[in-house]
């Protein structure tokens, strides 16, 4: 296997007496989906926040695209090709759906100290933005105000924004949260279609989704990565079964 796109080693963060992440190791390889699963409070969101640069780890290293990015601020990581979707929808409420996506394209289209040419008439921005919206099935809502979208559409827009750039790696924090069956089925298809072109780190609760999509799975419990491997290995892992007692996995069904 080639060198990982994202390489996390011994990542630790403590809040008061609690180890939110405790010497976590994980890798995301090119073109794969790594799912991070674990019970609530296992430290998954803290992990993503550290990967994206919103939280500084107490110790450990993060390498991305062959560079050590542990000390970089969020915007610098994004510029290197890391895109993030948020667990709680985070879009630009006051702007249109197209504007939201446009900004995501713009972030990767060089600097934005351009004061004169109208951004919304700039084909270099609008075409990739529309393409991303097309991909997630929001093209017909491009002109709508983002605030008026349904919950599922918000999630789709988030993905469109993650797609719109030239990112190598998507950090997706529960992209299906709060979606209905049909919507989440469409999202699974979408993510599967992306797999070849992007690497994805996916945090997800729904085990059906995880086993349908993931190439590999890392299991977190109490801030520790207790197991990593292919879905079948994880399904068979005794430690995981014990940690997940009471949580249904497809293997038990």
Partner 1 sequence: MQLSRPPVRLGVRLLVLLTFAILPGLTAAFDQPFLLDLALRMMILATAAVSLNLILGYGGMISFGHAAYIGIGAYAVGIPAYYGEYSGYVQLPLAIGAGALFALITGFICLRTKGVYFIMITLAFAQMAYFAFVSIEEYGGDDGLVINLRSKFTGVIDMESTHEFYYVVLVFLVGALYLVSRIVNARFGMVIQGAKDNEPRMQSLGFDTFRYRLACYVIAGAMAAAAGWLMGNYNYFFSPEMMSWTHSGELIFMVVLGGAGSLFGPVLGAIVLIILEEVLSGATVYWPLILGAILISVVLFARGGLEGALAMLERRK
Our finding on whether 99 is near partner 1 (CB under 8 A) is yes
The least distance separating partner 1 from the CB of residue 168, rounded to whole angstroms, comes to 13
Binding residue (CB under 8 A) for partner 1 from 66, 71, 114, 239: 114
Nearest alpha carbon to residue 218 among 27, 10, 77, 65: 27
- x/- string (CB under 8 A) for partner 1, residues 151-180? ----------x---x---------------
The least distance separating partner 1 from the CB of residue 152, rounded to whole angstroms, comes to 19
Q: Which stretch binds partner 1 (CB under 8 A): 62-70, 95-103, 180-188, 198-206?
A: 95-103
CA gap 228, 234 in Å, rounded: 7
- Element containing residue 83 per DSSP (H, E): strand 82-85
Contact 42, 57 (CB under 8 A): no
Our finding on whether 148 is near partner 1 (CB under 8 A) is no
Nearest alpha carbon to residue 76 among 113, 119, 107: 107
96 or 228: CB nearest partner 1: 96
- 18-28 and 6-15: which strand pairing? antiparallel
122 or 215: CB nearest partner 1: 122
Nearest alpha carbon to residue 96 among 128, 66, 129: 129
Contact 24, 50 (CB under 8 A): no
| Contact footprint for partner 1 (CB under 8 A) | 52, 54, 73-79, 83-84, 86, 90-96, 99, 102-104, 106-108, 112-120, 122, 125, 143, 161, 165
């Amino acid at each position: 296997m080639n060198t990982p796109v994202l390489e996390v080693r011994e990542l630790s963060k403590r809040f008061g007496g609690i180890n939110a992440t405790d010497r976590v190791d994980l890798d995301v390889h090119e073109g794969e989906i790594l799912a991070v699963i674990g019970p609530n409070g296992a430290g998954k969101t803290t992990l993503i926040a550290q990967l994206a640069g919103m939280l500084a780890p107490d110790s450990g290293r993060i390498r991305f695209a062959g560079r050590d990015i542990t000390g970089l601020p969020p915007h610098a990581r994004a510029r290197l090709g890391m895109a993030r979707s948020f667990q709680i929808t985070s879009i630009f409420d006051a702007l249109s759906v197209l504007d939201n996506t446009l900004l995501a394209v713009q972030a990767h289209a060089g600097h934005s100290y351009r004061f004169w040419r109208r951004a919304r008439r700039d084909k270099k921005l609008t075409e990739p933005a529309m393409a991303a919206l097309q991909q997630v099935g929001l093209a017909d809502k491009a002109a709508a105000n983002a605030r008026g979208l349904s919950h599922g559409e918000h999630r789709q827009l988030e993905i469109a924004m993650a797609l719109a750039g030239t990112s190598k790696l998507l950090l997706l924090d529960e992209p299906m949260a709060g979606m209905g069956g049909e919507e989440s089925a469409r999202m699974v298809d979408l993510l599967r279609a992306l797999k070849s072109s992007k690497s994805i780190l996916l945090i997800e609760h729904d085990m059906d989704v995880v086993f349908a999509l993931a190439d590999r799975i890392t299991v977190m419990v109490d801030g520790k990565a207790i197991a990593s491997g292919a879905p079948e290995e994880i399904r068979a892992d005794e430690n995981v079964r014990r940690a997940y007692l009471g949580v249904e996995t497809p293997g038990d069904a």
